[in-house]
A and B are shown apart, each in its own frame.
Chain A
Amino acid sequence: MIEFLDVCMTYDTGNKALRNINIAIGDKEFVFIMGRSGSGKSTLLKLLTKEAEPASGQIFVNNWDLGRMKKRFVPKYRRSLGVVFQDFQLLNDRNVFENVAFAQRVIGASSRTIRETVPQMLKLVGLSSKYKYLPQQLSGGEQQRVAIARALVNRPEVLLADEPTGNLDYENAVGIIRLLQDINRLGTTVVMVTHSQEIVDQTGGRVVVLDKGQIVSDEIC
């Protein structure tokens, strides 16, 4: 459960990125966030990952009150989220397996857990056979799948995706959307930012549209 209550966000530059945002996203929901460039979509996700703080209003995620969370709980909270970006953000000096394992190693998971879960995730995203490849030896779509596997390996309750198909051609993009829908069906809440009306039309579902930092529509297409 994600809830924004009257959230406003202003950057240090004085830029009012979000105004009076009210959204409620239920468990296991799949939500698209759309809007023009600069409308505040990424900022919305940054508030959820606690990379940015709202100027006013309250945000709740799975019983966490983000505004009142103590600093030392932030890492623990972030383990309940998975994040995927437009530019994949893979580590180019490591192979596919290590890229996915990275998310577990750095939170102190045991080698045994890593050996068990990483292959499961690679299987889920359809890259079992390419676990030894380096990122630059993969296509864009495959790289994004690795990034998704990494985001999911710690079993988050929420997956946040900021234009995950932005760098992909239509076919690859559709493949990624299918994957995200599968993941959603397996019980993960998905919040996905996209520019592509085409994709939204194709898949349908709940769409929240932002403009100049405000919600202008929130409906099921």
Chain B
Amino acid sequence: MRINVIWYCIKQGVKNICRNIWFSLASIATISACVFLFCLFFSLIANIQSTIKNMEDTVGITVLFDEDLEEADILALGTAIGSRSEIKEMVYVSAQEAWEEFQADYFVGHEELAAGFAQDNPLAGSASYVIYVYHIEDQDRLASYLQALDGVRQVNYSHKVIEGFAGFNRVVSLLSLAIIGVLLAVAMFLISNTISVAAAFRKRESQIMRLVGATNFMIRAPFIVEGLLIGITGAVIPLAGIYILYSWAAGYLAARFSVPSEIFSFVPIENIYPVMMVTALLLGGGIGFWGSFFTIRKYSKV
């Protein structure tokens, strides 16, 4: 295709937008709102997921065994448990290690106090396994399985927090999908209206084009360009906004609160931005393209 044909179509598309600037702006604003919310939820979900991931890595199930169990029996039991597929990693902490760890935590600077216990490990019988799973959802099932095992005294895990997070993640996902869906429909409707108005404006022009032998492609291209430009503009504005907002929020929160950063930490924007940007552009461009395509197909038949 000739370069001046492409240029012509783009020029006509821009002209359509300018001639109908308020409708176009309304469409851009709706798409912007849609894409902005998408980006917001996307960032939120990315952060929740990263938090859950961190939990999976750092929050394990601790299994304690009956006090009369020999270490060899515990290890044998451990091997049996370790064959389950949802387990990513398990760490054995012997009674001796548990005691040493405890001393390190609580007798810092007062080592002489610990010396009083000398040969008598007060944590005897507290050998344990710490188990990490691949998917945090599996913790419940695994915990009840462990609880039921012979020789297991106690199973500790923070299921409330985890359940809460997984549930929150689900709610946010569903909510965002619903809101984005509604906005998408509104955006489609507005685009369709904008294109209809432009088509009415160009009725004579399209009619002449048809009669002098312009192809359907040529007749429709200005409208498709119009839709695409509206859609892409509607995506670029919130993308820029989110970039600034996110960087600012991450910096602000990091400076303001020193939450346990091992679990809660903002995902760096570079990690989520590429996927978010491509998806947002496809979303905006897609609404613009399909909205105008379906509308203009109604108006222009050979």
Contact = CB atoms under 8 A, between A and B. Distances in A.
A134 to B, nearest CB: 15
A204 interface: no
A107 B208 contact: no
Interface size class of A (residues with CB under 8 A): 20 to 34
Interface in B186-220: 204-205, 207-216, 218-219
B212 to A, nearest CB: 4
Contact of A110 (B2, B205, B211): B2
A194 interface: no
A154 B213 contact: yes
A76 interface: yes
B204 A75 contact: no
Contacts of A74: 302
Given A75-B215, A79-B213, A91-B204, 11 more contacts: A51-B211, A81-B213, A89-B208, A91-B205, A106-B212, A107-B215, A108-B2, A108-B5, A108-B218, A154-B212, A154-B213
Nearest to A104: B212
A75 B213 contact: yes
A154 to B, nearest CB: 6
Interface residues of B, number: 20
Interface string B1-30: 110110010000000000000000000000
Given A75-B215, A89-B204, A106 B209 contact: yes
Contacts of A151: 212
A78 B208 contact: no
Nearest to B212: A103
A107 B214 contact: yes
A68 interface: no
26 contacts: A75-B215, A76-B213, A77-B213, A78-B211, A78-B212, A79-B212, A79-B213, A83-B211, A83-B212, A89-B204, A91-B204, A91-B208, A102-B208, A105-B8, A106-B8, A106-B209, A106-B218, A106-B219, A107-B214, A107-B215, A107-B218, A108-B2, A108-B5, A111-B4, A151-B212, A154-B213
Interface of A: 49-51, 71, 74-79, 81-83, 89, 91, 102-103, 105-108, 110-111, 150-151, 154
Contacts of B1: 108
Nearest to B217: A75
A57 B216 CA distance: 27
A170 B73 CA distance: 117
Nearest to B204: A89
B212 A107 contact: yes
A208 to B, nearest CB: 22
A108 B205 CA distance: 16
Nearest to B301: A71
Contacts of B5: 108
Contacts of A106: 8, 209, 212, 214, 218-219
A154 B211 CA distance: 12
Contacts of B4: 110-111
A75 B210 CA distance: 7
B183 to A, nearest CB: 35
A44 to B, nearest CB: 16
Nearest to A50: B302
B124 to A, nearest CB: 88
Nearest to A76: B213
Contacts of A103: 208, 212
B302 A71 contact: yes
